[in-house]
Structure 1
Amino acid sequence: MTVKGKFYGIGVGPGSPDLLTLKAADLLRRVPVIFVPVKASGESSSAMKIIAPFLDLLDGQEIQELVFPMTRSFLDLKEGWKLAAEDVLTVLDEGKDAAFITLGDSVLYSTYAYLLDALLELEPDLAVETIPGITSFSAAAALFNRALACGRESLAVVPATRGVEFLKNVLGSFENVVLLKVAPVLDDVLDILKELDRLDEAVFISRCGMPGQVMLDNLALPGEIPRDYFSLILVGKVER
């Protein structure tokens, strides 16, 4: 009887290959099959670009795409996760280890979490190891040389797309806030920050660690702000 392969979920960090963890780099050099999430077959993958320097394709290492549908339909999403899980299990059933790569951290707002649920639903006893990655907001805070939180301060990490009232409550309750996915609601976010008098506490970054990175350290100043998908805002008093 063939022993099933082990499944690895690997967070590859925010964008720069040198922010990949040593453990992730080691696994990526030796795992036989690597699954890469894409929106459509043949599409370019940011995660793939990050790990490219660590691969050994000449030694027979295999890259497989997993297409995840871009839809708000939960039923369609669930079906996509199930189909992806079946593709992964086909490889694992051959006795091969396999890894799934995801931007940032594997356990924070990651497609990996949904894929893992689908896998364990089909194969509850599957051998799994999850490898964390550096988050985009940790990397961003480091680039700005500012702490995310100190001492007894609170920190909230939220998607900016949750709605105006939700954001007002969070920004009114927490000393430090990370706002993710800000691009589609940037105008609303800036209006809220101005209303709460927190605009001068906010910094913006897009494409952190990737080509085309943009950093803005004072959103109170007028100027063009990129509306790139990979954008976030850090809010918090710098003076300690």
Structure 2
Amino acid sequence: MTVGTEWTQADVAALLREPTDGDDKYSRGVVGLRTGSARYPGAAVLGVEAAWRAGAGMVRYLGPACDLVLHRRPETVTVDGRVQAWVIGSGMDAAHRSAEETSALEAVLAGQVPVVVDAGALDLVGRAPVPRVLTPHDREHAALRARLGLPERTDRAEAARDTAAHLGVVVLLKGATTIITAPDGMQRTVTTGVPWLSTAGTGDVLAGILGALLAAGGDPFASAASAAWLHGRAGAAASAAHGGGPLVALDVAEAAASVIGGVLAFRRR
């Protein structure tokens, strides 16, 4: 597997936008989420929490888990309106998705703002001029490639480069080593984090962090790599808070704010 260099804290610091006295909730970025389902409602809570913790000026949630989301994060807006980036598919299963929800996801994908496409919306992806970041793990990536008629590849970096070029998207291929690939073939890796991150819900947290960075105006490739780096460091911080032991996904979302604060402090030195 031949890939590009490791994404660093300095790279993340160059992307992050710190609010000023002249900012408001709209200029800081509004991220919309169509996530969660009756089968997996918690994914909505995790993604929304992560988007808030990653600095979104406003989070809109449209989906079936409004009560849970508002119980955890009452500042969340649950009516449709202006957004600067979308997160879709987390906590969804294409095999159990209603026709109404499919239509809503397709409308998001046909829009004019960047979209993070996770899990249960990957089957709807095709080529489009709107910036998209796909966030599959290896099994989801293999299923996506099969649907697209792309050949099987054992080399993860080569497969990610092939998919990114074919669809004209950024691919964030999750794993112990996460590979971020641009449509032109540029690649970076992220290996920060701890093995405890391989637990349910942490991918939903990553999608929420990424949505917030995109809504703030971040370049899709740099936002994807930075989100993976922040997610990994937040996982390490969450584990350290428990003596180096297990973490749960909500711990990771909560730790993201402190990790971002640390990066901003690094930038000021």
- Using the size of structure 2 for normalisation, the TM-score is 0.27
- Using the size of structure 1 for normalisation, the TM-score is 0.30
Q: In terms of Rg, which structure is larger?
A: 1
Structure with the bigger RCO (C-alpha within 8 Å, sep 6+) is 2
